[in-house]
């Protein structure tokens, strides 16, 4: 059996049982641009997809999810290292992203958001038209 030495483990366990979580719940993420999309991956293992909430207000994306303890209320907890409770994260999206067309999927504990780059922010070639060159004054 693996044993870790942590002099504060019992204090943390007791504080969590009495006061709830002793540390903010983390929602690690990766974000990158791929072609005309901005992709964000959030690690949310063990989350019921029904508890995930996404909303956008004035270019601020709010992500909220909840993980409940699988143990019954009357169970005697021996080890509780997996965080439970509410996880939240805010992302500030630039004006160059099309927040009306966000696509979200949840698979294997990862929430993936695909935010397209807005059409007006994409690079475009400007056509130069030819015409008669008239000399001024003639």
Residue 62, H or E segment: strand 60-67
Any long-range contacts for 61-67 (C-beta under 8 Å, 24+ apart)? 61/90, 61/91, 61/92, 61/93, 61/99, 61/102, 61/113, 62/88, 62/89, 62/90, 63/27, 63/87, 63/88, 63/89, 63/90, 63/91, 63/111, 64/88, 65/27, 65/111
In the chain, where does DSSP find H-type helix? 9-19
Give the tens place of pLDDT for each residue, 22-43.
Answer: 454 578 999 999 988 999 999 9
Q: Return the pLDDT at 2.
A: 41
Task: Print pLDDT tens along the chain (138 aa).
Answer: 344 445 566 666 666 666 665 454 578 999 999 988 999 999 999 899 999 999 999 889 999 999 988 889 899 888 888 888 888 999 998 888 888 999 999 999 999 999 998 877 666 778 888 866 555 555
């Amino acid at each position: 059996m693996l044993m870790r030495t942590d002099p504060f483990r019992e204090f943390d366990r007791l504080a969590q049982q009495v006061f709830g979580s002793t540390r903010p719940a983390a929602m690690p993420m990766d974000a990158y641009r791929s072609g005309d999309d901005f992709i964000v991956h959030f690690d949310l293992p063990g989350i019921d997809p029904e508890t995930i909430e996404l909303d956008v207000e004035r270019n601020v994306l709010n992500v909220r999810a909840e993980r409940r303890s699988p143990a019954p209320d009357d169970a005697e907890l021996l080890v509780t290292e997996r965080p439970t409770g509410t996880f939240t994260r805010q992302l500030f999206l630039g004006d160059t992203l099309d927040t009306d067309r966000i696509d979200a999927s949840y698979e294997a504990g990862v929430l993936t958001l695909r935010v397209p780059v807005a059409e007006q922010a994409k690079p475009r070639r400007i056509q130069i038209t030819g015409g008669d060159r008239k000399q001024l004054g003639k």
